[in-house]
Amino acid sequence: MKPLHILTWLVGALVTIFAIGGLHWGLAQIGWISFFDWSFYFEVSAAGLLQGVMYSLVALGFVLIFKASGIFNFAQGSLVLFAALTMVGLMELFERDFGIRLHWVLAFILTVGVMVLVAIAIERLVLRPLVNQPPIILFMATIGIFYFVDGFGQALWGSDVKVLDIGMPIASAVSPLGVRMNVYDLIAAGVGAALVAGLGVFFQYTRIGRALRAVADDHQAALSVGIPLKTIWTIVWSVAGVVALVAGIMWGGKAGVQFSLALIALKALPVLILGGFTSIPGAIVGGLIIGYGEQVAENFIGLEIGGAIQDWFAYVLALVFLLFRPQGLFGERIIERV
């Protein structure tokens, strides 16, 4: 994307946020909404956008794998859980058995190693025997992985809540321009942005990255110019594992590392279809739209109709976008021939 492009998007986004705010203000004036306040609105929007980045973190893993292999990887949620569990588990293990307080950076590196092993195992044991099967079968296989990894992680590390402390503030907040924002969320957003930038550079400028893009464009053509498909798949699953680890740290640091983390994959699905299965910027923009949309909806409309609407609202919002762009905002147009 060119800088001008990004600028247009930014301006567009700001205008939209103001427009939607104005709409709600108008609804409040005619009494359809019982409460509206501009500063509250901005706070909600900020919180929603930051939350959106957290969704994007999970969605990114899906996108990477779909891009490179056309597999809709349902196991991403359980990879998030497994990665976070492994990291905390390693830290606890070292402290208990060797009396060493493992620095979290070291634990992170060790866990990356474990995730690479997981990726290799998945490629060898699941993907390779299922090469050339229809997408729905591969999707099903990833659900099998989901169950296996869930059970394995818990059998290995136990089902207790584990506290992941990497020294991030939980409750402190800053208020630039009078909009209160959670420091933790800001840091998480920063990490998310850094991750996307890193992945962008990786895909754009490294040899492996170029090979990955080639595979994503056309498996057969990539094979024929000598790109080793299996290695690429292992790398992609490893990278997805690392993304899962980062997501797991961010989510686990907030709520404690435990089984429920595997369920956040469901929050990433509307982000995915909104942004398009194949686009990394799509995952980010989709995340922002979903995060913002569901927070605003829950806070201003939710109260009027009974609350807890954000679960389905995200999907309905994504559905509305889909009706206009069936491949998502940034998805590749599919040209169908008979």
Partner 1 sequence: MRLKTLCLAAAGAAMLTVAGLPAQAAEQYVPLLVYKSGPYAPNGIPMAAGWEDYIKLINARDGGVNGVKLVTDECDTGYNNDRGVECYERLKKPTAAAFQPLSTGITYALLDRVAQDKIPLYTGGYGRTSASYGPVFPYVFTAPLTYWSGADIMVQYAKGQEGGSLKGKKIALVYHDSAYGKEPIPTLERLSKEEGFEFYKFPVAHPGLEQKSTWLQIGRQVKPDWVFMWGWGVMNSTAVKEAAAVGYPMDHFIGIWWSGAEPDVVPAGAAAKGYKALGLHLPGTDIQLLQDVLKYVYNGDEAKAKENAWGTVLYNRGLFLMAIEIEAIRQAQEMHGKGKELTGEQIRDGFENLNLTEDKLAAIGLKDFTKPIHITCEDHEGGGQAFVQQWDGEQWKKVSDWFSPHREALRAAYKEDALAYAKEKGITPRTCK
Partner 2 sequence: MLYRETGQFKTTYRADQAIFPILQDKIGVLAILAFAVFVVPFAADNYLLETILVPVLVFSLAAIGLNILTGYCGQLSLGTGGFMACGAFFSYKLATAFPDLNLILVFLLAGLGTSVVGVLFGLPSLRIKGFYLAVATLAAQFFLIWVFNKFGWWTNDSPSGVISAPPREVLGFVVTSSEAHPISKYLFLVVLVAVLALVAKNLVRSRIGRSWMAIRDMDIAAEIIGIRPLVAKLSAFAVSSFYIGIAGGLWAFIYTGSVEALAFQIDRSFQVLFMVILGGLGSILGSFLGAIFIVLLPIALNVTMLAIDPTFSVALVSDMEFMLFGALIIFFLIVEPHGLARLWQIGKEKLRLWPFPY
* Residue 176 to residue 14: CA distance in whole angstroms: 17
Binding partner 1 (rule: CB under 8 A), the pick from 270, 310, 321, 329 is: 310
* Residue 171 engages partner 1 in binding (rule: CB under 8 A): yes
Smallest distance from the beta carbon of 270 to partner 2, in angstroms? 7
The answer to whether the CB of 286 falls within 8 A of the CB of 328 is yes
- Total residues in contact with partner 1, by rule CB under 8 A: 41
Binding partner 1 (rule: CB under 8 A), the pick from 62, 66, 72, 184 is: 184
Residue number, 122 or 288, with CB nearest to partner 2: 122
At residue 218, φ and ψ (nearest 5 deg) are -160, 110
* Residue 43 engages partner 1 in binding (rule: CB under 8 A): yes
At residue 162, φ and ψ (nearest 5 deg) are -110, 140
Residue number, 99 or 306, with CB nearest to partner 1: 306
CB hemisphere CA count around 192 (13 angstroms): 30
Tokens of 253: 């640091």
Residue 295 interaction partner, one of partner 2, partner 1, none, beta carbon < 5-8 Å per kind: partner 1
Scanning 113-121, 123-131, 220-228, 248-256 for contacts with partner 1 by CB under 8 A, the matching segment is 248-256
Residues within the interface to partner 2 (CB under 8 A): 72, 125-126, 129-130, 133-137, 139-141, 143-152, 154-155, 159, 266, 269-270, 272-273, 277, 305-309, 311-312, 315-316, 318-319, 322-323, 326-328, 336-338
Nearest to 300 by CA among 50, 38, 13: 38
Residue number, 138 or 245, with CB nearest to partner 2: 138
Residue 251 interaction partner, one of partner 1, partner 2, none, beta carbon < 5-8 Å per kind: partner 1
Residues in region 53-82 near partner 1 by CB under 8 A: none
The answer to whether the CB of 178 falls within 8 A of the CB of 39 is yes
The 10 Å Cβ neighbour count of residue 165 is: 11
Residue number, 46 or 122, with CB nearest to partner 2: 122
Q: Which residues in 153-279 belong to E strands, given as ranges?
A: 173-174, 181-182
* Residue 44 engages partner 1 in binding (rule: CB under 8 A): yes
Query: Between the CA atoms of 198, 270, 261 and 175, what dihedral angle is there, to the nearest 10 degrees?
Result: 70
Binding partner 1 (rule: CB under 8 A), the pick from 182, 234, 278, 279 is: 182
Residue number, 182 or 299, with CB nearest to partner 2: 299
* Residue 170 engages partner 1 in binding (rule: CB under 8 A): yes
* Residue 215 to residue 114: CA distance in whole angstroms: 25
Which are the contacts of 146, defined by CB distance < 8 A and separation ≥ 6?
Answer: 74, 75, 77, 78, 262
Residue number, 280 or 314, with CB nearest to partner 1: 314
Q: Percentages helix, strand, coil for the chain, rounded to the nearest 5?
A: 75, 0, 20
* Residue 59 to residue 263: CA distance in whole angstroms: 13
* Residue 264 engages partner 1 in binding (rule: CB under 8 A): yes
CB hemisphere CA count around 322 (13 angstroms): 14
Q: Which residue has the tokens 């990477």?
A: 64
Binding partner 1 (rule: CB under 8 A), the pick from 20, 25, 28, 40 is: 40
Query: Which residues contact partner 1 (rule: CB under 8 A)?
Result: 35, 37, 40, 43-44, 47-48, 51, 154, 159-161, 163, 165, 170-171, 173, 182, 184, 251, 254-256, 258-261, 263-264, 267, 294-295, 298-299, 302-303, 306-308, 310-311
